[in-house]
C-alpha cells in the first residue's frame, strides 16, 4: 500500500488543521476507515476494515476481496501517523463484518470485534462449500500497547447454528448467504462496555421466514461478560446485517432503546425497549413523513445511526426513498420522542429535515455527532457519483438542537464518488471526519481522516472556513451547459457572475438551497461567480467565489 500525506480535494489544494489520506493498492487490498476517536493524550486512534485479496482461481466468479482484517492507525494531534498495524491481529482468511469498536480506559487502548474463522483462505468463499459451513464465531476484546500490538486478548466462542439451502447461492454470493455473529452497537457505559450483537442466520429465499437473534451484553475491560441476554428479532432471512451498521442502540433514563429496520408493510422501523438488565419491556414503531405512499412502506431504516439528545429525545439519521420510487435515496435527520412514558404505539416525530440533490443519490452514507453545547454535526453526501462521472459533494452542517442551520460547508469534488463515513467531536468541540473516495476516471480509491477546529464551522469567520478547505457554495454541473446551478445554505446573499474580462453578466438574490441560472445565451468559456452578503457598515462583502465553465 502506498500511503501519502497531502491536502487535496479534486484539483483544489488548501490548508487545513490536518488530513491524512490512505491510498489503497487494489492489487493487494481495500481499506475503509470507519471510525476515529480522540484519546485523553490528544492522539487520534482510527479503525478500519481491511479487505485482502485472496488467491482465487480465474474461473471463480465475483470480486477477489475476501480476507477481512482490522487495521488500526494511531496519529498524533498534529496529524502525524505514529503507528499502524494491519496484518498482525488474526490469521488470514477471516470474516469481519464491521470495523472494530475503539475504547480507551485509564489511558489504555482497546478494540472490540467479532470474526468467523476461515476454512480455506484461497477459496472464493471462506468456508469453501455450502455443506461445510462455519460452526463457531469469536467475540473478542483486545488490549493494545502504545505501538498497537495486542498485549492481552479476551475471546469468547459461540456456535453458529446455520445451514445452506442452495449451492449456487452459497457460491455466488459469498458470505451474504452464510451465518455471522457481528457487533452492531458498543459504547462505554458506567465504566464497562455495553453493546449488542446479532447472530445472523443464512440469507435464504424470501418466501421462507427465518429469524435472527440479538444478544445484549455488558463486558468489563478484562473481557468478562457481566451480563448477556438474547432474543429473536423480527427480520427477514438474514436481512438484519443489511440494515444494522453500527451505533443503533442508546441508553435513556429507563434502560436501553434499540432501533431496527422495519419488517412489516405498515411501518418503517421497530423500536424495542429493555430495562437496565436487558429485560424486554415493549415494542413501538416508526412511521416517517413521506410523499411516496404506494399502499405499503417503501422506506425502511437502512444503515441508520442513532444518538441521544440532551433533552430526552433521540436523533436518527437515515436514508429515504425519493418520491419517484426508483431506488434512489435522499438523506433525513429525525428527532423522535421515545420516552418510555409516552404511551403511543407509533413514536411521535418531533422534527425532521431532508436533504436531497437534483439527481438524488445511490447509497449515500451519513453520520451525526453532538458537541458539548448540544449543537449537531450532520455529515452526508450529495450527488455521490455512484454511477456517473459527475459533481459530488460531501456536506457538513452544524445545526442547533432545533435543527436550524448554523452553518453549511461543502467539499467540492468533481468526478469523485464520495462517502461521508463518520464524524466525531473532539474535546474542544472540533471535528474528526472520516471519508472514503473513488476517482471515477482512474478508479483510484482512498480513505481519509481529517481534523477540523471548531472555529472552522463559525459562520461569522468565513476566512477560517476557507483556510480549512471548506466552502459555502458549489456551482454545478461544472463544466456545464445551458444551466448553472448554485447550491448554498446562505440566505439573502447576492450572486454575481462575471466573464473573464470582468464584465458582470448576471446578478440575482439567493433565497433557496439551489438557484438555477439560465446560461443558454452565454458564450462557451470560463466564468467567475461571487456570493456577497450585505453588511450595514461594510456594504456588500464577498464571502464565496469560484469558476464555472460552460
Closest by alpha carbon to 314, among 355, 265, 359, 254? 254
Q: How confident is the model at residue 64 (pLDDT cuts 50, 70, 90)?
A: low
Reply yes or no on whether the pLDDT at 56 is more than 60.
no
| Residue position matching grid coordinates 474528526 | 432
In this prediction, residue 75 has a pLDDT band, given cuts at 50, 70 and 90, of: very high
The listed range with the strongest mean pLDDT (128-132, 312-316, 361-365, 440-444) is 312-316
Nearest to 31 by CA among 448, 542, 347, 493: 448
List of E strands, 384-513: 391-399, 405-414, 416-425, 431-439, 445-452, 473-476, 483-488, 493-498, 504-510
Residue in this structure with the C-alpha cell 452514507, named with its chain if needed: 365
Per the CB < 8 A criterion, the answer to whether 510 and 489 are in contact is no
Beta bridge partners of 401: none
How high is the mean pLDDT of the chain?
A: 78
Per-residue model confidence as pLDDT tens digits over 332-347: 889 999 999 888 999 9
Torsions phi, psi for 509 (to 5 deg): -85, 140
DSSP 95: B
DSSP per residue over 325-355, as a string? Answer: -SS-EEEEEEEE---TT---SBPPEEEEEEE
Q: Which of 353, 426, 429, 365 is nearest to 395 (CA)?
A: 365
Locate the domains of the chain by residue range: 19-246, 493-549
Cα separation, 450 vs 434, in Å, equals 7
Of the spans 74-78, 232-236, 393-397, 488-492, which averages the highest pLDDT?
Answer: 74-78
Check whether the bond before 477 is cis (ω within 30° of 0).
yes
* Phi, psi angle pair for 171, to nearest 5°: -75, -40
Confidence grade of residue 104 (pLDDT, cut at 50, 70, 90): very high
**Grid coordinates given for 529:** 461567480
Q: How many CA atoms lie within 13 A of 533 on its CB side?
A: 11
| Residue 436 contacts residue 33 (beta carbons within 8 Å) | yes
Given a contact cutoff of 8 angstroms between Cβ atoms, the answer to whether 141 and 217 are in contact is no
Apex CA 29: angle with CA 54 and CA 431, to 5°? 150
pLDDT digits (tens, 9 = 90+) for 167-176: 444 444 444 4
Segment 295-322 mean pLDDT: 75
Q: For residue 222, what are the CA distances in angstroms to 112, 130, 182, 218? A: 12, 36, 20, 12
How confident is residue 526, by pLDDT bands cut at 50, 70 and 90?
A: very high
| CA dist list (Å): 175 to 70, 135, 140 | 18, 14, 20
222-240 per-position pLDDT tens digit: 999 999 998 877 654 455 5
Segment 347-389, tens digit of pLDDT: 999 999 888 765 545 555 567 788 777 889 998 877 655 556 6
Tens of pLDDT, residues 238-297: 555 555 667 889 999 889 999 887 666 677 788 999 999 999 999 998 887 764 444 444
Amino acid at each position: 500500500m502506498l500511503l501519502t500525506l497531502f491536502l487535496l480535494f479534486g484539483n483544489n489544494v488548501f490548508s487545513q488543521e490536518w488530513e491524512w489520506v490512505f491510498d489503497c493498492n487494489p492489487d493487494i487490498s481495500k481499506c475503509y476507515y470507519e471510525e476515529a476517536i480522540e484519546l485523553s493524550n490528544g492522539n487520534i486512534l482510527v479503525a478500519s476494515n481491511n479487505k485482502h485479496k485472496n488467491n482465487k482461481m480465474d474461473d471463480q466468479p465475483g470480486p477477489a476481496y475476501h480476507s477481512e482484517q482490522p487495521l488500526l492507525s494511531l496519529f498524533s494531534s498534529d496529524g502525524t501517523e505514529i503507528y499502524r498495524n494491519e496484518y498482525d491481529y488474526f490469521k488470514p482468511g477471516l470474516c469481519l463484518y464491521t470495523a472494530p469498536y475503539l475504547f480507551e480506559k485509564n489511558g489504555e487502548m482497546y478494540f472490540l470485534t467479532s470474526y468467523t474463522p476461515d476454512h480455506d483462505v484461497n477459496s472464493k468463499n471462506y468456508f469453501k462449500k455450502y455443506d461445510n459451513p462455519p460452526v463457531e464465531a469469536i467475540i473478542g476484546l483486545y488490549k493494545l500497547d502504545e505501538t498497537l500490538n495486542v498485549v492481552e486478548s479476551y475471546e469468547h466462542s459461540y456456535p453458529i447454528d446455520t445451514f445452506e439451502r442452495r449451492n449456487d447461492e452459497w457460491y455466488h454470493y459469498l458470505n451474504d448467504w452464510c451465518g455471522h455473529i457481528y457487533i452492531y452497537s458498543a459504547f462505554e457505559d458506567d465504566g464497562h462496555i455495553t453493546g449488542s450483537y446479532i447472530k445472523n442466520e443464512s440469507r435464504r429465499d424470501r418466501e421462507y421466514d427465518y429469524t435472527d437473534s440479538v444478544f445484549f451484553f455488558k463486558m468489563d475491560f478484562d473481557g468478562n461478560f457481566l451480563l448477556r441476554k438474547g432474543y429473536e428479532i423480527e427480520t427477514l432471512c438474514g436481512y438484519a446485517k443489511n440494515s444494522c451498521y453500527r451505533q443503533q442502540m442508546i441508553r435513556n433514563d429507563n434502560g436501553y432503546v434499540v432501533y431496527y429496520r422495519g419488517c412489516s408493510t405498515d411501518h418503517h422501523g421497530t423500536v424495542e425497549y429493555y430495562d437496565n438488565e436487558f429485560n424486554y419491556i415493549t415494542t413501538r414503531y416508526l412511521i416517517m413523513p413521506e410523499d411516496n405512499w404506494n399502499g405499503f412502506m417503501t422506506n425502511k431504516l437502512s444503515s441508520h445511526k442513532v444518538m441521544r439528545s440532551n433533552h430526552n429525545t433521540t436523533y436518527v439519521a437515515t436514508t429515504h426513498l425519493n418520491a419517484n420510487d426508483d431506488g434512489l435515496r435522499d438523506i433525513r435527520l429525525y428527532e423522535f420522542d421515545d420516552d418510555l412514558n409516552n404511551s403511543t404505539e407509533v413514536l411521535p416525530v418531533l422534527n425532521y429535515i431532508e436533504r436531497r440533490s437534483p439527481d438524488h443519490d445511490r447509497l449515500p452514507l451519513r453520520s451525526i455527532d453532538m458537541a458539548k453545547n448540544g449543537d449537531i454535526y450532520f455529515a452526508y453526501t450529495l450527488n455521490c457519483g455512484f454511477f456517473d462521472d459527475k459533481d459530488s459533494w460531501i456536506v457538513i452542517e452544524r445545526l442547533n438542537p432545533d435543527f436550524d442551520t448554523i452553518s453549511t460547508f461543502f467539499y467540492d469534488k468533481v468526478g469523485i464518488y464520495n462517502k461521508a463515513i463518520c464524524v466525531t467531536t473532539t474535546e474542544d468541540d472540533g471535528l474528526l471526519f472520516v471519508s472514503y473516495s473513488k476517482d471515477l476516471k482512474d478508479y483510484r480509491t482512498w480513505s481519509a481522516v481529517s481534523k477540523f477546529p471548531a472555529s472552522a464551522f463559525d459562520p461569522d469567520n468565513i476566512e477560517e472556513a476557507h483556510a480549512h478547505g471548506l466552502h459555502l457554495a458549489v456551482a454545478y454541473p461544472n463544466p456545464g451547459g445551458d444551466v448553472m446551478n448554485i447550491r448554498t445554505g446562505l440566505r439573502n446573499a447576492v450572486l454575481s457572475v462575471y466573464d473573464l474580462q470582468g464584465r458582470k453578466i448576471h446578478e440575482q438574490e439567493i433565497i433557496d438551497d439551489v438557484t438555477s441560472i439560465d446560461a443558454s445565451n452565454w458564450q462557451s468559456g470560463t466564468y467567475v461567480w461571487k456570493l456577497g452578503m450585505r453588511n450595514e457598515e461594510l456594504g456588500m462583502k464577498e464571502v464565496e467565489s469560484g469558476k464555472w465553465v460552460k
